[in-house]
């Protein structure tokens, strides 16, 4: 069965960095678009970043542009998100997700319903 497992979360001070990892199994990883979402306490889950099958195309939500970098290693079935200059408002549970669809409308990459598989999340806490 398909499984996505996030790791790399933790507690950091504002301005610090973390790298999140997502290990995928049970799917042909290189055929899936991979995304990262997050959910803060009391908030709905929101889109953070996405990377295409080949890794050649990425897109980020405005609040993390210039600070976060999504990447993937298809040979290792891994997706990553490097998070730099972290802010307290980045505090959330971060989830990786995999989508099998062809994105004819690229805006659909931001939608939770576009993704078929989800990890259980990893907590990121940024203190001030």
3-class SS at 90?
A: helix
Are 47 and 110 a contacting pair, CB within 8 Å?
Answer: yes
**Residues 42-81: pLDDT tens digits?**
999 999 999 999 999 999 999 999 999 999 999 999 999 9
Closest CA to 39 of 128, 126, 124: 124
Task: Give the residue-averaged pLDDT of 86-114.
Answer: 95
Mean pLDDT computed over 89-112: 94
According to the model, what pLDDT value does residue 108 have? 94
Give CA separation, 80 vs 8, 38, 74, 94, 128, in Å: 9, 14, 11, 11, 25
- The residues, any chain, with a CB within 8 Å of residue 12's CB and separated by 6 or more, are 18, 86, 124, 125, 126, 127
Q: Give pLDDT, residue 106.
A: 87
């Amino acid at each position: 069965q398909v499984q996505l497992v996030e790791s790399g979360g933790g507690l950091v001070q504002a301005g610090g960095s973390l790298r999140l990892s997502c290990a995928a199994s049970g799917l042909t990883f290189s055929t899936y678009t991979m995304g990262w979402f997050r959910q803060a306490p009391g908030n709905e889950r929101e889109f953070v970043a996405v990377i295409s099958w080949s890794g050649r195309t990425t897109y980020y939500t405005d609040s993390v542009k210039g600070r976060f970098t999504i990447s993937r290693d298809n040979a290792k079935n891994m997706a990553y998100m490097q998070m730099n200059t972290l802010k307290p408002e980045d505090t959330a549970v971060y989830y990786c997700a995999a989508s099998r669809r062809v994105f004819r409308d690229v805006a659909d990459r931001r939608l939770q319903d576009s993704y078929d598989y989800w990890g259980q999340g990893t907590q990121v806490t940024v203190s001030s």
